[in-house]
Structure 1
Amino acid sequence: MTAEASSPDYQRIAQAIRYLEEHFRRQPSLEEVADAVSISPFHFQRLFSEWAGISPKRFVQYLTADFLKTRLAEAASLAAAADAAGLSAPSRLHDLFVTLEAVTPHEYRTGGAGVRIAYGVHQTPFGPALLAATPRGVCGLHLLAPDNPDATAALAALQKSWPGASFEPDDAITAPLVAQAFAPVAGQPLHLLVRGTNFQLKVWEALLRVPTGQLVSYQHIAQAIGQPKALQAVGSAVGANPIAVLIPCHRVIRKEGVLGEYRWGSATKKALIGYEMAQAERQAAQLA
């Protein structure tokens, strides 16, 4: 099972991010990165800026350890201010676009028996993705490798998570959901249906409260759910997130400013973080 069409632009973006990741210590020039992805420097600068809204140089600055640690410090300040105001989280902005529902105890025990799941592979700003949805909401969003958009393994993992459910391909159902996932519309929340333990649900709900362009540590999430010592369990729950982007596990990094692992690849995590920081910066500039 492959994507309907390749995404050569994002393939080159991902290749460039991987190249920058591998050679970050010597900070390669624009010309060198462009050569690594086999296009002219002018074309690469334009391509990257059109995708991210910022230059490649600015994008890389977002991903330095010092900058990331600054973002974590900001998150701690936001959390402290929220606590002082009697709020449960620094931001509920994401909740305007996403609502989260858990399966019933019976559905959890039976692996989703009786649940119908439609699925399809579609293009996104981050390459091809497999989206799966029930009549009650999106239950899976897996980002596929841009240079190998085969969804067979992703679908098998989804079926393993919902062994009692029935699956059928239906692009008519999944295409508009993908469009809404990557271009949310105010007043039209996207519903999610997840199958997980009570602990996982608490972690995933906490992730929904992390604003776009902001980062948190595993410690922040552990404290947010009232279990500050459960760092390993929090890490496992973050890694088990079945719905990429919409449940923003990519916004969790290590307290040292290290991005850490990501289920869908480190280059994709960097792309998501840099892209969202650029969005947040543009919105802040418009409001200033």
Structure 2
Amino acid sequence: MRDTAELIPDTTRPNTWDDEALWQALLRREPLPGQFYGVTTQGVVCRFGCPARPPLRRHARFFSSVAEAGKSGFRPCLRCDPAGERAAIHAAAVRGACAAIEAAVEGGDPVPSLAALAERAGYARHHFLRLFREVAGVTPHAFAAALRARRLGEALASGGRVADAVAEAGIGSESRVYEDGARMLGMTPGAARRGGAGEVIRVAFGTGPLGLVMVGMAGRGVCAIELGDDEAVLRASLVARFPRARIEAADEPARAAVARVLGWVEEPRGALDLPLDLRGTAFQRRVWEALQAIPPGTTTDYAALAGDLGLPRGARAVARACAGNGVALAVPCHRVVGRDGSLRGYRWGLARKAALLARESDAAG
């Protein structure tokens, strides 16, 4: 779901943008954060990139904020919603629907139907389905399924029987969990219940420009790359993810993997090519695959990444998937920034995120 902070326009206009440069950007429908144009014949103010037909040059005026345009008598365009008012209303409606779904799942009650959710929000059924999908990144049905999968994973991680965990999560069918468990949980139900029991994760540490690096390697590949300052803290993070796995000292593949990570940090060119064992939901893995396609030295923002995934209002869902990434650098969530270019949350610290981006930019240049 989109953060309302993303909807507040930047009111600063770079001095390098004169009216002619802004006019050319308007014709190209180029999105320019913090820039707006008014159409005198219609009395509306638009975002740059508005899908409406561009005005004639003599009918265009440029503003650095919607408030500035309002003082000149312009009202917000209904198509591009420059003030973000309509988007905020939509986001609030979807948040309410998500809360209703979550309350039903947590209470073991039937999940409200799409028709009931739409009526509660005051929208037509099909319109609300499209709205929910744009804002949350998934359908209401998929959102409920994800909540049940989370409850199932938590119940299984406690070590209980699969049948009991299925009943607690409200899945309805134990056979369905065995058939679709890998898709729902990112691993089989047995593996989730065991919390890594029966698995051996070999851990290697190294020190580089970003501080301490820990690599955890399971049977299928690297399942963790963590950055930090304290070896005990990094180990505790790995144990929290795999509470019943056997954590052992590094073997040769694990030592080689940490050496490759440190070498990449020294010279971050191309992808960090390692065999990966990524564990997450289908949506998380979809986001992580998109992150791996972002070249070093470049960035995108959460809204743009959501748009690339076909979820134009799924910025918040994408941000949550980025936050769930446990394999730093190989899944480069550090290349996602705020729409205004500012650095947003990074589980290994904003200072490291800034340093990574600076090193990649230098290497690309």
Secondary structure in structure 2 of the residue aligned to 1:113: coil
Normalization by structure 2: what TM-score? 0.45
Q: Which residue of 2 aligns with 1:177?
A: 257
| Deviations 1:112-168, CA, capped at 9 Å, x for gaps | 332210012211232211111112111111111xxxx31222221221212332211
Secondary structure in structure 2 of the residue aligned to 1:219: helix
Q: Which amino acid aligns with 1:234?
A: V
Q: Which residue of 2 aligns with 1:230?
A: 314
Shift of 1:262: 1.2
Q: Which residue of 1 aligns with 2:353?
A: 269
| Deviations 1:80-103, CA, capped at 9 Å, x for gaps | xxxxxxxxxxxxxxxxxxxxxx95
Shift of 1:240: 1.6
Confirm or deny that 1:140 pairs with 2:220.
Answer: no
Q: Which residue of 2 aligns with 1:57?
A: none
Q: Which residue of 1 aligns with 2:231?
A: 151
Q: Which amino acid aligns with 2:188?
A: P
Q: Which amino acid aligns with 1:249?
A: C
User: Aligned equivalents of 1:178 and 1:278: distance in 2?
Assistant: 22
Q: Which residue of 2 aligns with 1:242?
A: 326
- Larger RCO: Structure 1 or Structure 2 (Cα < 8 Å, ≥ 6 residues apart)? 1
Q: Which residue of 2 aligns with 1:50?
A: none
Q: How many residues align?
A: 178
**Which 10-residue stretch deviates more, 269-278 or 226-235?**
226-235
Secondary structure in structure 1 of the residue aligned to 2:356: helix
Counting aligned pairs with the same residue, the percent is: 35
User: Aligned equivalents of 1:164 and 1:222: distance in 2?
Assistant: 35
In structure 2, relative to structure 1, the CA distance for the partners of 1:222 and 1:134 (3 Å cut) is same
Secondary structure in structure 2 of the residue aligned to 1:194: coil
User: Aligned equivalents of 2:255 and 2:222: distance in 1?
Assistant: 12
**8 Å Cα contact 1:103-1:193 kept in structure 2:** no
Structure 2 residue runs without a partner (length 5+): 1-31, 34-184
Shift of 1:175: 2.0
**8 Å Cα contact 1:124-1:182 kept in structure 2:** yes
Out of 296, 299, 302, which is 1:212 matched to? Answer: 296
Q: Which has the larger radius of gyration?
A: 2
**8 Å Cα contact 1:200-1:237 kept in structure 2:** yes
Q: Which residue of 1 aligns with 2:241?
A: 161
Secondary structure in structure 1 of the residue aligned to 2:233: helix
Structure 1 residue runs without a partner (length 5+): 1-68, 71-101, 282-288
Shift of 1:171: 5.5
Q: Which residue of 1 aligns with 2:188?
A: 105
User: Aligned equivalents of 1:217 and 1:232: distance in 2?
Assistant: 11
**8 Å Cα contact 2:204-2:258 kept in structure 1:** no
User: Aligned equivalents of 1:168 and 1:121: distance in 2?
Assistant: 12
**Which 10-residue stretch deviates more, 130-139 or 159-168?**
159-168
User: Aligned equivalents of 2:243 and 2:285: distance in 1?
Assistant: 19
Q: Which residue of 2 aligns with 1:52?
A: none
Query: For 1:27-66, what aligned pairs fall within 5 Å after superposition?
Result: none
User: Aligned equivalents of 2:300 and 2:271: distance in 1?
Assistant: 27
User: Aligned equivalents of 2:347 and 2:273: distance in 1?
Assistant: 25
| Deviations 1:214-265, CA, capped at 9 Å, x for gaps | 0000012212222222221211111121011111011000001111121111
**8 Å Cα contact 2:300-2:337 kept in structure 1:** yes
**8 Å Cα contact 1:108-1:196 kept in structure 2:** no
